[in-house]
Every structure is written in structure tokens, then in C-alpha cells.
Amino acid sequence: MKVLGLETSCDETGIAIYDTDQGLLAHKIYTQVAQHAEYGGVVPELASRDHIQKTLPLIEETLKAADLTKQDLDAIAFTSGPGLVGALMAGATIARSLAYALNIPALGVHHMEGHLLAPMLEEKQPQMPFVALLVSGGHTQLVRVDGIGEYKLLGESLDDAAGEAFDKAAKMIGLPYPGGPYIAKLATQGNPDAGIQFPRPMTDRPGLNFSFSGLKTAFLTAVHDALDRDGFNDQFQADVALAFEQAIVDTLVIKCRRALEQEGLTQLIIAGGVSANKRLQQQLQIQLAKVGGSVFYARPEFCTDNGAMIAFAGAQRLLAGQSSPLNLSIRARWPLAELDPITEGTK
């Protein structure tokens, strides 16, 4: 089965074709980052318009790269939530119209299930059950995964997501949007002995929830203190970026270890934009190895939003006989635990 995947939940237009026999055949991504950077964040109306302009040309490019025509497609998967309403509607309308014209099934895919399953596109894959850390600009969640659609929420952020905290901290010291990669790059020049200390929030109490708003406030306080003493210079920026990155990474690692111990599991996957952070990947590998655990993650282009993860996730459900009606509504909010499990037909 050849599945066309469309991802338009936010500010990336991602298109891919996944073959259930041959694997990923082709994928294309167009990012709107430069367009939104001057506003310091995603402007929903601009995102929607850009998806409308870019989706069909990217579909044609992806088909050409896979040496296929539209008539070779067996099904279409598209992101139906969660995400920006206008952006989701753009992709869903194109996907459902194309499926209707080709007389093939279409399936609305949960955006975070796509992220969760993205590591399955790699040669090195975990075996279920495992714990997943979904960490991005909009989500920070720990989920127990017993099968596709069999998800148990273990913990989540009570306020800012980790990626959102990175973006806001970057803005405080004048770095471009999105801030996470810029903080990480700047942190490589930081001095770990500079004496800047940030809390590891909610690690001193039981439970698996997160909170990053206080950490963000501590970062702002450190910046104001540096400004007051005329110490806000290039080296301070690097040092405070390093201390902030270390605090977020340490917090995530502590909670991941705790989740694995609580669930009696040894395998962890990390997914979402922040999963591309090298310090997070390295620290999880080091710390989990100490307790006999292992970590899995997708290649960098599949950590952020992309069509491949939607095509793959959709293919698993399409193989199980699922599809969506043409009048399917998109959902700006959609708890992962509401998804139906599939137990047969996955490949």
C-alpha cells in the first residue's frame, strides 16, 4: 500500500509517500520559519495561506521523486489535529478532495501519534511496550506505549512546554525564532563553571509532571541581574544559554528515568522538535545505560514536523482497515489517549 502523507499542523508543509512493503519512498518539507521569524512566533493566518500555496506543488515534487503518479496512490493520510485550525483545514481539505477524486481512502492522523511513531522509520527501532517522551514547542508529555493506539499518559507539563521555554528564553537574550536550536548552538560556547545555577523544577517531589514557567522566570531574573551590573556580554549569553539548556535537559532526563522505573520498562523513545537536541540525546544515552535502559529517536529531519511520520502512522491504521469520512472535522485539541487501539494488520 502506497500512502501519501500530508502534514500541515503548524508552520511546516510536509509531504511524503510511504510504501508498506518498501518503506519510505520520498519526502519533502517546506518550512515557514523565515516568514514567521520577524514576528517572533507563528502567525496562524500566514501559516494557513502558505500551506494552501505550497501543498499541491510539494505533492507533485514528492510524486516525481518517488517516480509515481497520483493514480499509483492507494490512500492518503493527513494531520487532522492537534494544531492550528486554519493550517489543519488547509491540509485536510486538499487531502480529502484528492482522495475523493482518486476514489481512495483518506485518514485523519493525530499529529503527536505521528511524532511518537517517527523513530519507527529508522533501522534501529524499539519494541513495544516502551515509554515515549514527546517534547516540542507545544507538548511535553511522558506516555506509556503498549501498542499503536494503546497510550497511557504518565505526566505532562502543567504550563509551558520545553520547546516553548527555549523559544521564550532565546527571545529574552535577542536570539531569533525558533529559539531552541540557537540556544543549543550558543550553549556550546558556554562555561559550565560560570556559576549560573537554575532549578530542576518538580524533580524534588514524586510524580512525572513538568513545569517550566518558573525556570523561564529564573532565566529572566539572571538576564536582568546581568544588565544591572553591566555584565550582559557575549560570554554571559553563552553561559546563561548553557545553564538553561542543562536545566531543561537534566529535568527531562530525571523524569524519563523515573518513568521507566515506575513502569518497569527499559526502552525510551524521544520525539518532537526538542528531541533533536544533542545534549538531551547524549545525556539520555549516558544516564539510561547506567540502569540498563536505551533511548531511540528519529533522524533530525523527522524530529520536527514532517510528512513521513504522518504517512507512516496513517499506513498502520489504514492497514488495519481504518479510514475517515469525508466530513471529518479537524481538532485543534485532541488528547492522545482518545485514539482507538489497533492490534492487527500493522506493518
CB 307 within 8 A of CB 15: yes
Name the residue among 22, 82, 17 with its Cα closest to residue 272: 82
- Residue-wise pLDDT for 157-212, tens only, equals 999 999 999 999 999 999 998 999 999 999 999 999 999 999 999 999 999 999 99
At 137 the pLDDT is: 85
Show the 3-state SS of 51-67. HHHHHHHHHHHHHHHCC
Tell me which residues of the chain have a pLDDT lower than 70.
343-347
At 343 the pLDDT is: 62
The domains located in the chain, with CATH, are: 2-117+302-338 (3.30.420.40), 127-297 (3.30.420.40)
At 37 the pLDDT is: 86
d(CA 137, CA 9): 13
Could you tell me which residues are annotated as the binding site?
111, 115, 134-138, 167, 180, 277, 305
Could you tell me which residues are annotated as the binding site for substrate?
134-138, 167, 180, 277
d(CA 113, CA 46): 26
CB 82 within 8 A of CB 334: yes
Q: Name residue 24's beta-bridge partners.
A: 18
CB 24 within 8 A of CB 121: yes
At 40 the pLDDT is: 85
DSSP classification of residue 149: T
d(CA 71, CA 58): 17
At 346 the pLDDT is: 40
Do strands 75-81 and 2-7 pair parallel, antiparallel, or not at all (unpaired)?
Answer: parallel
d(CA 187, CA 283): 15
d(CA 281, CA 252): 11
At 6 the pLDDT is: 98
CB 62 within 8 A of CB 69: no
Q: Which strands make up the sheet holding 294-297, listed edge to edge?
A: 150-156, 140-147, 130-135, 267-271, 294-297
Could you tell me which residues are annotated as the binding site for Fe cation?
111, 115, 305
At 64 the pLDDT is: 98
CB 274 within 8 A of CB 283: no
CB 179 within 8 A of CB 245: no
